[in-house]
Homo-oligomer: A and B are copies of this chain.
Amino acid sequence: MRVAVVGGGVIGGGWIARFVLNGLDVAVFDPDPEAARKIADVLDNARAAYAKLTLAPPLDEGNWHLCDSLEVAVGSADLVVEAVPERLDIKHQVYAKIQAQRPEAIIASSTSGFKPSDLQKDAPAPGRIIVAHPFNPVYLLPLVEVVGGPNADQAVLDAACAFYAEIGMHPLVIRAEIDAFLADRFLEAVWREALWLVKDGIATTAEIDDAIRYGFGLRWAQMGLFETYRVAGGEAGMRHFISQFGPALKWPWTKLMDVPELTEDLIDTIARQSDAQSGAYSIRELERIRDTNLVAILQALKGQNWGAGATLQAYEDKLYARAHSRTAPDLTGPLRLVERAVLPDWVDYNGHMTESRYLQVFGDCTDALLALIGCDASYHTRGLSYYTVETHIQHLGEVAGGVAIYTTTQVLAVDEKRLHLWHQIHRRDDDHLLATAEQMLLHVNTQEGRACPADANVLGKAREIAAAHANLPVPQAKGRYVGERR
């Protein structure tokens, strides 16, 4: 896809950042004289976030450039992202220019609320104009609401969705067009309630935010409204839970349904309370805090392969597959078997990766090596496996949460029943050696619980690697005991 973006504000800049970090070149049009700086700022944030988001080998960044006119920007685009202000007249003018210049391009509007049929009005090719509504920060949040409206061209929607999935997003096709689609319906409803609460002096902006982020906000990062209530309903089931809820809808709990008037007074109150709540941080600092939090949450959910974490996992798998398809593993040097970031919950009270997680990473190295020599799930079902009988660990440096690490594994010796391994954990940024592990594994018959010779195939592959490693330098600390003088 050759992409162009019209409008380089918070949303347009977020799209540009996502495209560039996915290796795409982007042509941009924005008449704002500050546009270049603002886009560069968003891209800086996005780069910082992606550096922590995934350990998968990153794609080479694409290039972006500002064009002198809209016509030049969209001149060779397959997809034009529209992110101009929410005024229908402006959007119509932009679409007319785009379709005059580049009729074959898909135009994807970032609008938060206009229906496709509103946007498509009087367009020469209405079916090529769709809504693709993203969420800020666009480079991190996976959701994009894709709406075609009654004039939708299914091939256009399919192409758009495939593209969004390719760049790590979760396209949600909204079948029936309505104003504000799905997510902003909810945001508007909450916003309305919140304005009343501030206006009536019931709660401050900080209290309202706390009521969200210490409670249901945590739930909604992983399950939505209905699944949450299904679980809360417990054994009685969803039907029972919903029926129960009926009366409450008539109670005064929902009375705040008028639209509050946004007076100067109310605006003052909100601005003042927001300063008191968040004014200790600059917007730039808050953006970094938000992004770091979102990255940590996405990775937490990736660990469970759930929701937005599953989207991230699929994205990573694709990046790894792309990298692996380039080269076969080279057995001649120490094997680089594990690449990952230190997870937030791996950190102890000293702020460093806790010691048992080192052994977990070393265990992952061993598992990866065993897989490589054919000691895999089907081998285990035959009642054969390797057990670790002895480990010596040296902790040589500390590593904090979020830091990227990789491992190397050297096969020191192999015999019929034993595998003698040497693992190392390095920081990825500077190759700094963080820890070593020397391990002895014993091949066992797991049913009888006793040592036995490994299968010939497994042994053959292990010996092949050991032979390739025979000329590597012997690690200095091999055979070291605890407390031995260095």
Contacts and interface: CB of A to CB of B under 8 A. Distances in A.
Contacts of A380: 349-350
A483 B188 contact: no
Contacts of A428: none
Contact of A193 (B145, B185, B214, B345): B185
Interface string A232-245: 11110111001101
A210 interface: yes
Interface in A391-443: 391-395, 398, 401-402, 420, 438-440
Contacts of A158: none
B311 A214 contact: yes
Contacts of A259: 249-250, 254
Interface stretch (A21-29, A67-75, A101-109, A300-308): A300-308
B113 A234 contact: no
Nearest to A449: B398
A435 to B, nearest CB: 10
B387 A398 contact: yes
Interface string A322-363: 000000000000000000000111011110001111111011
Interface stretch (A149-157, A266-274, A463-471): A266-274
A442 to B, nearest CB: 9
A136 B255 CA distance: 24
A225 interface: yes
A182 to B, nearest CB: 4
A24 to B, nearest CB: 22
A35 to B, nearest CB: 13
A352 B175 CA distance: 40
A174 B202 contact: yes
Copies in the complex: 2
Closest 8 CB pairs of A and B: A209-B224, A303-B344, A217-B220, A143-B215, A296-B300, A299-B345, A356-B360, A221-B221
A49 B179 CA distance: 41
29 contacts: A52-B345, A141-B218, A170-B214, A176-B203, A178-B202, A183-B211, A185-B197, A209-B225, A218-B308, A220-B220, A220-B221, A230-B274, A230-B283, A231-B290, A243-B262, A293-B307, A297-B297, A300-B344, A301-B344, A302-B345, A303-B344, A350-B446, A358-B359, A359-B359, A388-B395, A392-B481, A440-B482, A440-B483, A481-B481
A114 B478 CA distance: 69
Given A185-B197, A206-B226, A228-B290, 19 more contacts: A10-B234, A113-B248, A113-B251, A135-B216, A176-B200, A182-B197, A186-B193, A186-B194, A187-B216, A214-B311, A218-B297, A231-B287, A238-B271, A242-B271, A246-B262, A350-B385, A355-B359, A356-B356, A391-B395
A63 interface: no
A423 to B, nearest CB: 12
A71 to B, nearest CB: 28
A189 B481 CA distance: 65
Contacts of A297: 218, 221-222, 297, 300-301
Contact of A215 (B135, B180, B202, B275): B135
Given A300-B344, A303-B347, A210 B189 contact: no
A191 interface: yes
Contacts of A402: 303
